[in-house]
Amino acid sequence: MAIENAVSADDIKVDGAKMHISDTDVAIDIVGMHKWYGEFNVLKDINLKVMRGERIVICGPSGSGKSTMIRCINRLEEHQKGKIIVDGKELTNDLKKIDEVRREVGMVFQHFNLFPHLTILENCTLAPIWVRKTPKKQAEEQAMHFLRRVKIPEQANKYPGQLSGGQQQRVAIARSLCMNPRIMLFDEPTSALDPEMIKEVLETMVGLAEEGMTMLCVTHEMGFARKVANRVIFMDQGQIVEENTPAEFFDHPRHERTKLFLSQILH
Amino acid sequence: MSQNDLHYVRTEMALPQPAPLRERGPVAWIRKNLFANPFDSVLTIIGMIIVIMILPPLVDWALVQAQWTGTDRTFCSTVAQGGIQPEGWSGACWAFVNAKFGQFMFGRYPIEERWRVILVAIMFVALLVPLLIPRVPRKGLNAFLFLVVFPIVAAFLLIGGFFGLPHVETPLWGGLLVTLTLSYVGIVVSLPLGILLALGRRSKMPVVKMLSVIFIETVRGVPLITVLFMASVMLPLFLPAGVSFDKFLRALIGVSLFASAYMAEVVRGGLQAIPKGQYEGADSLGLSYWQKTGLIILPQALKLVIPGIVNTFIGLFKDTSLVYIISMFDLLGVVRQNFSDPAWASPQTPASGLVFAALVFWMFCFGMSRYSIYMEHRLDTGHKR
């Protein structure tokens, strides 16, 4: 709460000069970031500034480095050059800093990565109890709150393996939300789902976006991008090739590679 | 033209029907499992013939002809061999097992002190049984008593030398007592140590990794007999004069370290089978290394390798017999030692003694095996990933 108050105080200060952006409004700042897998330069000169409450969709052909980029933001992948500052903390080899960042950044994976030996409720309460030291009872109430929000409270005592893909992904979203993250990363959240289940997951994500969550989402759901994104980023060969508002991006792509990509997926 | 009409709409949904009779009942079971095709039928018949050939003579030897009571070798020998049995008699000499039962259980542990061993055995069972039954509450306390308090109390009781309990030195221990003590210590030490070694071997820290690899590969590279022999014969050479520690303790350490090297490799197999996504899922929530390992990775990894872990336990249980190399006598050792007792030497004695020892070993190993299968089913939450 203290931090949020500080933010609003800052907002008032800069209110007079709108052009001047306070640092506390920047959620993620990536400057000149490079990454190599051995000799291979997977990410080249990535520069990206994400404001609080911004919703960014990242798309691009497979192997373009979009997943790798958002995985760098919570240090599931290590970058070798440049700077990544998340929530005011720079990501270095400092394990404590990394854990601090991970606590504030939720991540939803393509393959859900739920813990199969724990029930849905236990999946959701594990991190709050062990990382945030929330009392068990309170953690469970909070978990049920988020499970209701993703519309599966009745599954709380089942195991992940008993749920459909769409339900599992919604649990994964609830699990992340239980840590009260300030930023959510989505790594192709609907790519492993049956067509009938994509909608339920997207609806959950739209709900989150409407509440003002800062979101970075790697996805090919162009409908979703048009509906909720402030900005669409197109990546190819490890670089950001084009960046624009969804309307401009889809209707008037500028870069040749973007045009080709859009013509391939929008048939 | 009508053949081009692809139009079809189901008007009524089909209801599920009971399976055909041929698929149910004992006759169907026999057909399916014993006589499914000619090859199966031949195998079934051959199997039956083998059972018919082996089972009746075995029952005859072990139960019908067997000599259950007696005071010396004459009860288990034929007249020509200097005994009372008719010519051509062949049966198990359970009288021998009966007479030597105390030795088989306790070795040369003084008879008037054996109540101490029995007391320890009662504590062992009383603590182990509730630990194994999932429904019994207070597992934490139970495990603490069984794994920490019990060994200390048991050691004091068995060794003695205080509170008026006479000291019983370990060379007098023997029989099932030695088998179970070695197995208990081996199992209780090797599982946690093996887990640590397996984690060490997968560690990103080069020194930790190297030490784990060296330990595992060295211990796994030599036979247990060598380890025991070295512990018994070589170790004293390196110790300063006058310093010695108990031979049985050395065997305990040798067996435990040996088993942990094997355990480490079993556990490593389980760790490697956990998908990368589980590590990432735990990382992304901000769990620390030990939280991630203890709460997410190990519970899944150990569950996967229960058969391997129990396999190592069973191997360890039977390998305890090798302590004869340092002149300690476990159950099998004591049985073999008694073959040369002139009061009981008869052609039937060795077979009877060995069958008895085998039966005891089998009971313990089969128990472990069944329990592991039960645990596998219980922990199965029905899916991977």
Q: What is the dihedral of CA B280, A91, A72, A51, to 10 degrees?
A: 120
CB contact under 8 A, A74 and B291: no
> Residue A154's CB: how many other CB atoms inside 10 A?
10
Q: How far is CA B91 from CA B42, B62, B76, in A?
A: 33, 6, 8
| A131/B284 touch (CB, cutoff 8 Å), yes or no | no
Average pLDDT of the segment spanning A8-26 = 49
**Residue A193 C-alpha, separation from nearest chain B C-alpha, in angstroms:** 15
Residue B175: name the closest of B121, B227, B232 by CA.
B121
Chain A residues contacting B via beta carbons under 8 Å = 74, 76, 99-100, 102-103, 105-107, 109, 111-117, 126-127, 130-131, 159-162, 175-176, 179
CB-based contact, B306 to chain A, within 8 Å: no
Q: What is the mean pLDDT of residues B289-297?
A: 94
Q: What is the mean pLDDT of residues A176-181?
A: 93
Residues facing A231 on adjacent strands: A56
Q: Are A41 and A238 spatial neighbours (Cβ–Cβ below 8 Å)?
A: yes
State the smallest CA–CA distance between residue A251 and chain B in angstroms: 36
Whole-structure pTM value: 0.83
The first and second tokens of residue B17, run together, are 């029907």
CB contact under 8 A, B385 and A106: no
Please check whether residue B333 is in contact with residue B108, taking contact to mean a CB–CB distance below 8 angstroms. Answer: no
**Range A66-71, long-range pairs (CB < 8 A, 24+ positions):** A66/A218, A66/A235, A67/A187, A67/A188, A67/A218, A68/A35, A68/A42, A68/A43, A69/A43, A69/A235, A70/A185, A70/A187, A70/A216, A70/A218, A71/A185, A71/A187
Q: Looking at chain B from residue 256 to 295, which residues have their Cβ under 8 Å from any Cβ of chain A?
A: 277-278, 280-288, 291, 295
Say whether A218 sits in a helix, a strand or coil: strand
Over residues B170-194, the pLDDT tens digits come to 888 888 999 999 999 999 999 999 9
DSSP per residue over B37-51, as a string?
SHHHHHHHHHHHHHH
Task: State the angle between helix axes of B114-132 and B175-201 in degrees (0 to 180), rounded to the nearest 10.
Answer: 40
Q: Which phi-psi region, left, alpha or beta, contains residue B107 (left: φ > 0; alpha: ψ -120 to 50)? A: left
Residues B129-156: pLDDT tens digits?
A: 999 888 888 888 999 999 989 999 898 8
Residues of B in contact with A117 (CB under 8 A): 299-300, 303, 379, 381
Give the ipTM of the model, two decimals please.
Answer: 0.86
Going from the N-terminus, what domains does chain B have, and what CATH number goes with each? 21-64 (no CATH), 102-109+168-379 (1.10.3720.10), 115-165 (no CATH)
The whole-angstrom separation of Cα A155 and Cα A151 is 9
Region B32-59 average pLDDT: 90
| SS3 (DSSP) at B70 | coil
Of B373, B333, B378, nearest to B357 by C-alpha is: B333
Q: Three-state secondary structure along A150-173?
A: CCCHHHCCCCHHHCCHHHHHHHHH
**Smallest CA–CA distance from B296 into chain A, residue:** A115
Q: Do B285 and A117 touch (CB under 8 A)?
A: no
User: Could A107 and B284 be called an inter-chain contact, meaning their C-beta atoms sit closer than 8 Å?
Assistant: yes
The pLDDT of residue A196 is: 85
pLDDT, chain B, mean: 87
Q: Structure tokens of B236?
A: 């004293």
Rounded Cα distance between B24 and B166, Å, is: 66
How many CB atoms are located within 10 Å of the residue A26 CB? Answer: 17
- B167 interfacial to chain A (CB closer than 8 Å): no
DSSP summary character for residue B16: P
Nearest chain B CA: its distance from A263 CA (Å): 33
Inter-chain residue contact A161 with B382, CB threshold 8 Å: yes
* B260/chain A closest Cα distance in angstroms: 26
Q: Could you tell me the pLDDT band of residue B295, with boundaries at 50, 70 and 90?
A: very high
pLDDT digits (tens, 9 = 90+) for A214-265: 999 999 888 899 989 999 999 999 999 999 999 999 999 999 999 999 988 8
Residue A107, strand partner residues: A185
B250 within 8 A of B231, measured Cβ to Cβ:
yes
Tell me the C-alpha distance between B346 and B80, whole Å: 12
Instruction: List the single range of A2-6, A85-89, A224-228, B294-298 with lowest mean pLDDT.
Output: A2-6
pLDDT for B105-117, tens place per residue? Answer: 888 888 888 888 9
pLDDT at residue number A13? 39
pLDDT for residue B344 is more than 60: yes
Cβ atoms of residues B74 and B68 within 8 Å: no
